[in-house]
Structure 1
Amino acid sequence: MAESQLVCMEDGLMPTAVPESRPQFYYSEQQRAALEMLLAHGDGAFKSLLKDEKSQDFLSAREIKAITNTFVKYQHEEDDGGASENRAKRDASDSMRSTYWPQMSDTDVPPLDLGWPSSGLFKGVTRVCVYTHPPKENSPHIKEVVRKLIQESCKVVAIVMDLLTDLQILRDLFEASQRGVPVYIVLDELGTPHFLDMCNRMQVGAKELQNVRTRSVKAVGLNLSLGRIPGNLHSKYMLIDGDKVMFGTYSFSWSSSRMDRNMITVMSGQVVDFYDNDFRELYAASDKLDLFKEFHLNKPQTGTLSRAAVPKRPVAATSRFQVNLGDVKVPEHKYHNPKYLLALGQIPGRTATMEDFLKTMDPPNPENPTEELENLTHVPSETGKKESKKPRTLSLKSRGSWWRKQNKEASEAVIEENTPVDAPKHTLPADQTSEDAGKKKKRGTFKNIFKKAK
């Protein structure tokens, strides 16, 4: 029902008439009466009514043809075969259908059962990229941009489209579904048969549809006393992973990508929240479209995750820090790990219990404590000198001599190991002595440099 009609049904609310010159002009009762005359008696009666009321013709020839072709009459009970039976059931029932005007829907909201990325967080600065067909300034084709967004998706793909019949885009959506990406599709009610026809030509299977949820939505339309004039869904956008959105005039069809002039905009940032909320509203107001039922497919069984077998816990003892192991075998390395002492209730040991260990310990003699003190002997230190607690510091000169001494001892040890038994010790080859002489010469030069610096 149109929004203006809902406003008129409010109790005690009579909206003021808005002239056509004001931008707030939206609905006119004269136009509604003219539409009913057009649908009941034809175009001639429609033109004559407008002439009598001195109103301008507000419909083009194309709109008149579309309205007359899509108009749907209401179905009355008298039109059915069992009119008398339905009337008897209605009289016998105690329900008050004519007075039932719920403010909220009495059906549950369809859940996004495949998952949905969390929203409400700051998504950064809004960034905009515009693409056209035909492409401009060496930019990619709009179909290439759309396919790349679908192929790079990893969280979710949500589409609101009037016509979805492009073969390559459908394949990309089903491939995304097979790799585990949830795919939600909301289609216009008039474009739904064309979508089902293309899926039937592709011969889609149950695995391809496992992570796909499709629904159809009706446009606002206009309800009259004779019937209803349906509208079209012209919203065309696609949400990717909850942080990108593509919208514009491009419909996902072959003719739209090849023959029509279109423009799309890809945006990221905080503006995505608006499309996120709009998609949820359309998804809640849409009707279910079960693809498994349409194509006579069996839903794949999603097996439950098998849990690993958990061993039974041993019966607990009186203390909460001990466990009565019973016949449970404990590995050997756990006997010597301190963290298992609380579980075993004893100190490390394979067979000895705590009582046996305490019996092996001889307590001191309380009657003669001096005897125990005499048995204690002092262990002298190896050096016999008290070590100074003050840390030892070395000067720069002493450090250098200590380092040279260590290197000398190490080199002598290496020489003694490599020289034969018969050769005299502390003798070096001629080459090595020349190298040592060169090193000493260099050290002398460094000493002279340090002396000059001082």
Structure 2
Amino acid sequence: MAESQLMCMEDGLMPAAVPESKPQFYYSEQHRVALELLITDGDGAFKSLLKDEKSQDFLSAREIKAIASSFVKYKHEEDDGGASASRDKRDDAGSLRSTYWPQMSDTEVPPLDIGWPSSGRFKGVNRVLVYTHPPKEGSPHIKEVVRKLIQESCKVVAIVMDLLTDLQILGDLFEASKRGVPVYIVLDEQGAPHFLDMCSRLQVGARELKNVRTRTVKGIGLSLSVGRIPGNVHSKYMLIDGDKVMFGTYSFSWSSSRMDRNMITVMSGQVVDFYDNDFRELYANSDKLDLFKEFHISKPQTGTLSRAAVPKRPTAATSRFQVNLGDASRGDLKVPAHKYHNPKYLLALGQIPGPSEPLQDFFNKMEPPDPAQQDLENPTEELENITPAPSQPEKKESKKFKTLTFSTKWRKKGKKNQTSDEVIEDNAANPSDDASKNTLTRDETQDSLKKKKRGFMSIFRRS
């Protein structure tokens, strides 16, 4: 309904008539009365009324024929049969339809359920390219431009069209759907049957229709007291990936691309947001056209995707520097031998890191460096040659040898340790037997013993 019609319905408000000479002229009450007479009494009564009112004939012969053929009468209660009784019950129950001007819609807004790119980002400077049919010199054909845009799409394809019947363009749209690109199509209601006919010729299946959503929309139309004159959708544009738009006079049909003169404009930049909003408004006001139902195809299952099986965590960590704390309480937990020591400490002892081995074997094979470059593999040989001076008391010397014997036992094990113990005890018990063979003084003996003791202690600290 026109804005001037809405203003006339306000109580006590009658706007001034706008003369036809002004650009603001849009609606005339004389035109409405003439249209009702055209529908009810025919073309002769319509022209007689205009002559009596001294008004100009505002309809062409083609328009008169189109209005007379497309007019739709309102359904009366007697025509509905039993439906009128159920409608009265709904009205009494306080349904939204009982209100003449409902503030809420009784249907949900259709969602863009297969994806839509974000429109809040900056799209850059506006850029414009114009193509015509027939093409200008050096320019491609308009159908080539449209097909290339569809084939290069990767995010979304959204089309508003009055007639979509070109087989090659339809094939490109279904191929984009098979690639996983969402395809939204809003068609004029009167052009929908022709679209379905061409899709049936392509023998589309569930795979082609999986990512396609098709809806129909009506024109604004004109409501009269006896019925309604429907309108058409002449918007012709296509959104690509949310950052490019193609619009113009070109309808996606074979005859339009071959026989008609057309012009299209491809634009990119911030102006695309306008078409983005306009498409979503049309999509919200449209009616559903279920292609699966029209072609009797079962819909593919859209359940939740099954997640890939994740392997269980190993019972014990295999990393060199990690042990699972949750498995520490298990009795059968085996920690690799290389966890007992870090290979970098072997470099300080003059050894090259090799394969992992038990701790006891590592200690048995470890050889500490001797600062005096003496052989410590057989300490008994040097201890046999070391005897205190004969003038020293026997008790104090034997005590010192016993201290060294304890350290040797702690460091070495096995038969060598037993042998070294016996030798030290014999030398401590009889220090004067081989006194003639040794020329070491007391001070030199004590110094050598201290050096050996310090060497052993440094080895223990490093290990």
TM-score scaled by length of structure 1: 0.69
Q: Residues 322 and 306 of structure 1: is their aligned pair in 2 closer, same or farther, counting only changes over 3 Å?
A: closer
Mapped pair 1:295 → 2:295: yes
Root-mean-square deviation (CA, aligned residues, Å) is 3.3
Which residue of 323, 327, 330 maps to 2:326?
A: 323
| Structure 1 residue matching 2:132: 3-state secondary structure | strand
Residue 22 of structure 1: CA displacement?
Answer: 0.9
8 A Cα contact 1:335 1:350, kept in partner? no
Secondary structure of the residue that 1:213 maps to in structure 2?
strand
SS of equivalent residue, structure 1 residue 265 = strand
1:155–1:331 CA distance, 2 compared to 1 (3 A): farther
In structure 2, the gaps of 5 or more residues are: 316-323, 343-355, 361-409, 411-449, 458-463
Pairs within 5 Å for 1:408-419: none
Query: Do residues 178 (structure 1) and 178 (structure 2) align?
Result: yes
- Residues 14 and 245 from structure 1, CA distance in 2 versus in 1: closer, same or farther, beyond 3 angstroms? same
**Alpha-carbon distance in 1 for matches of 2:100, 2:89:** 18
Distance 2:83 2:244 in 1: 54
SS in structure 2 opposite 1:131? Answer: strand
Q: CA deviation at 1:351?
A: 9.5
Report the counterpart of residue 191 of structure 1 in structure 2: 191
In structure 2, the CA distance between the partners of 1:84 and 1:135, relative to structure 1 (3 Å rule), is: closer
Structure 1 residue 75: Cα displacement:
1.1
CA apart distance, 1:95: 5.8
Equivalence for 2:309: 308
TM-superposed CA distance for 1:180, in Å, is 0.5
TM-score scaled to structure 2, two decimals? Answer: 0.68
Q: Sequence identity, in percent?
A: 75
CA drift of 1:292 comes to 0.3
Secondary structure of 1:323's aligned partner: helix
1:120 alignment counterpart: 120
Alpha-carbon distance change, 166 to 333 in structure 1, aligned in 2, over 3 angstroms? farther
> Following the alignment from structure 1 to structure 2, what is the Cα–Cα distance between the partners of residues 240 and 22?
40
Residue equivalent to 1:56: 56
Alignment of structure 1 residues 157-236 onto 2, 5 Å: 157-236=157-236
| Structure 1, gaps ≥5 residues long | 315-320, 339-347, 353-361, 363-371, 380-454
1:333 and 1:5 map into 2 onto residues whose CA distance is 93
Distance 1:325 1:152, change over 3 A: same
Match for residue 152 of structure 2?
152
Asked which structure has the greater CA Rg, the reply is 2
Other-structure match for 1:23: 23
Deviation at 1:138, TM superposition (A): 2.4
Cα deviation for residue 5 of structure 1 reads 3.4
Change (3 A) 1:218 1:95: closer
Given that residues 161 and 236 in structure 1 are in contact (C-alpha distance below 8 angstroms), is that contact kept between their aligned partners in structure 2? Answer: yes
CA contact (8 A) 1:166 1:254 kept: yes
Q: Secondary structure, in 3 states, of the residue corresponding to 1:137?
A: coil
Name the amino acid aligned to 1:305. S
Shift of 1:53: 1.6
Equivalences, count: 347
Report whether the alignment pairs 1:286 with 2:289: no
Supply the distance in 2 between the matched residues of 1:221 and 1:50 (Cα, whole angstroms): 22
**What SS class does the counterpart of residue 48 from structure 1 fall into?**
helix
Distance 1:230 1:176 in 2: 33
3-state SS of paired residue (1:216)? strand
Q: 1:301 to 1:130 in 2, by over 3 A?
A: same
User: Following the alignment from structure 1 to structure 2, what is the Cα–Cα distance between the partners of residues 168 and 175?
Assistant: 11
Runs of 4 or more above 6 Å deviation: 348-352
For residues 334 and 250 of structure 2, the distance between their equivalents in structure 1, rounded to whole angstroms, comes to 69
Deviations 1:218-257 (A, max 9, x none): 1100011111101110100000011110000000000100
Q: Which AA in structure 2 matches 1:22? A: K
CA distance 1:190–1:322, shift in 2 (3 Å): same
